[in-house]
Structure 1
Amino acid sequence: MPVELATTSEQREDVFSVRRRVFVNEQDISETLEWDEHDNPAAPTAHFIAYSGSQPVGTARLRVLNESVPDDADNSVASDSGSDIDAKISTDTDTDTDTDTDADTDTCSGNTKQSNCNLETAVTETTTIGKVERVAVLADHRNQGWGARLMQTVETHARQCGLSILRLHGQTRVESFYNACGYSTVSDVFEEAGIPHVSMEKRL
């Protein structure tokens, strides 16, 4: 399967290897911003890894925000007002949103022991908003649909865990990619780690 939930130590090492190459080496983002408490193995965070053959080529991270969906929420969703630095979403700009992804289907659907996913423990009836972070595809694998496959897998997993809204901070250079994936821009441009970003959201 080209995109998998990272559940083993080897897969997690691949996740961090891709992030280091894209964010630290390529984009010159400080390691003190790149690694945080959500990367702790015990954290209620889901990490995803994309493989081309045996080579790790892309990654993404999903966590739960401690916020609830307003009772009167309609198809528009509120902006993320959190001030945490989630630093960056850097993916290919390919807007291919084909649906023939081989997503991991044994995820959080009531079977966290088998899936080894801690995310579901953080989802409650009043906290159903997730945040997509650290989306990255290696430079020589961009514009090949990996970004779309990663996002499709993240969204499938989020639905299975009971999340209803996803938020992200996307770099402005790939804003159109996330628009094509169904995300709406809900903020003005702001900087994170010295890079222009916008807040974006999608109702699942």
Structure 2
Amino acid sequence: MEVKIVNNDQELADAFEVRKSVFIHEQDVPEEEEIDQFESDSVHFVLYDDNRKATGAGRFRVLDGIGKVERICVLKENRKAGAGVAVMNKIEDYAKSQGISTLKLNAQTHAIPFYSKLGYETVSEEFMDAGIPHKTMKKSI
């Protein structure tokens, strides 16, 4: 398993393919909400399994000095195997290398236990995004 910072068109296409599979096909998020105007302002990450198949993805951008972790996803068949943790660790390492000390993310409520285990704390009430309940979480790194 290897998480890469996307640096070419194929890796970006691989990351988008995973995101489309999870968010659009599995969770019925409209494509125009999933692939948005912030893609070109983001650093993208893609997770490959040992066979070089893309199985996870995420993106990162900086807003007002705070790192925003977004679009974290892992294909259904690869969950519970440490894939999500690998993606998050790579993003956190990247954020640290950029001098970022605070991260935030909008977690789907079912994923809050996952992010809590990684040290994120809930800082908002529940809200809806793309028809899915979320809460904002933060972490100091």
Residue matched to 1:25:
25
4+ runs deviating over 3 angstroms: none
* Structure 2 gaps, min length 5: none
Q: TM-score, normalised by structure 1?
A: 0.67
Residue 38 of structure 2 aligns to a residue whose secondary structure is: helix
CA distance in 2, matches of 1:49, 1:33: 20
Distance in 1 (CA, whole Å) between partners of 2:135 and 2:38 is 21
Q: What letter is aligned with 2:35? A: W
Whether 2:139 is the aligned partner of 1:202: answer yes
Q: Which amino acid aligns with 1:185?
A: T
Query: In structure 2, what residue type is equivalent to 1:56?
Result: A
Displacement, 1:140? Answer: 0.5
More strand by share: 2
Q: Distance in 2 between matches of 1:170 and 1:29?
A: 15
- Which residue of 2 is the match for residue 163 of structure 1? 100
Gaps of 5+ in 1: 68-127
- The alpha-carbon deviation at position 37 of structure 1 amounts to 1.7
Residue matched to 1:61: 59
Q: For residue 51 of structure 1, what is the aligned residue in structure 2? A: 48
Q: Which residue of 2 aligns with 1:184?
A: 121
Q: Describe the SS at the equivalent of 1:37.
A: coil
Counterpart position of 2:9: 9
TM-superposition CA deviations, 1:26-66 (whole Å, max 9, x none): 100001101112212xx3x210000002100000100010x
Q: Larger relative CO (CA 8 A, sep 6+): 1 or 2? A: 1
TM-score, normalisation: structure 2: 0.96
Instruction: Report 1:74-93 matches (<5 A).
Output: none
Q: Which protein shows a greater Rg?
A: 1
Distance in 1, matches of 2:13 and 2:130, equals 23
Q: Distance in 2 between matches of 1:189 and 1:37?
A: 24
Q: Across the two proteins, how many residue pairs are aligned to each other?
A: 140
By how many angstroms is 1:162 displaced? 1.1
**What amino acid is aligned across from residue 18 of structure 1 in structure 2?**
V
Residue 198 of structure 1 deviates from its aligned partner by: 0.4
Identity across aligned pairs (percent)? Answer: 41
**Paired residue type of 1:30:** P
CA distance in 1, matches of 2:35, 2:48: 22
